Amino acid sequence: GVTASSFDGLIASAAARYGLDPSLIKGVIQTESGFDANAVSHAGAKGLMQLMDDTARGLGVTDAFDPAQNIDAGSRFLSYLLRKYDGNVSTALAAYNAGPGRVDRLGLTDDQQLRERLSELPAETQRYIGKVLAAAQQWR
């Protein structure tokens, strides 16, 4: 059957390509889809890294359920967010979950500001950040 390790090669190459820690990608996948490549959320996010259709299209994805495309695009988006927020991992994760627009409207640029104003983000996003960081820690 398909296990988390089935995706190790794709995760390792995306991590290398976009300068990410593979354990962070795994933490996102575990939290987003539990390593189910066919997952669809109530909001319509698809695949391993739960890409919304607009995001997926913008990243050139033709099939969000294809693990190779999904991991590549999700990792590219995550690396873009990490650059945008100067390597502040929690802030990048908040933007991955709630959308960069939401984070920017609150004027959050780093993890310290995020911690101080966490209550202004959706409860789901608050939980999400902790879940991903804990999952990433386990994969290290």
Each of the 140 residues of the chain gets a pLDDT tens digit; together they read 677 789 999 999 999 999 999 999 999 999 999 999 999 999 999 999 999 999 999 999 999 999 999 999 999 999 999 999 999 999 999 999 999 999 999 999 999 999 999 999 999 999 999 999 999 999 99
The Cα 128–Cα 80 span in angstroms is 19
Output the pTM of the full model.
0.95
| Angle, vertex CA 30, rays to CA 35 and CA 15, nearest 5 | 90
Residues annotated as catalytic are: 32
Reduce the DSSP state of residue 51 to 3 states and report it.
strand
C-alpha dihedral (101, 134, 33, 96), degrees to nearest 10? 10
The Cα 65–Cα 69 span in angstroms is 8
- The tokens for 79 are 């690396």
**Contact 133/30 with Cβ under 8 angstroms?**
no
Give the pLDDT score at 98: 95
Q: Distance of CA 63 to CAs 22, 46, 67, 87, 127, Å?
A: 22, 9, 9, 29, 28
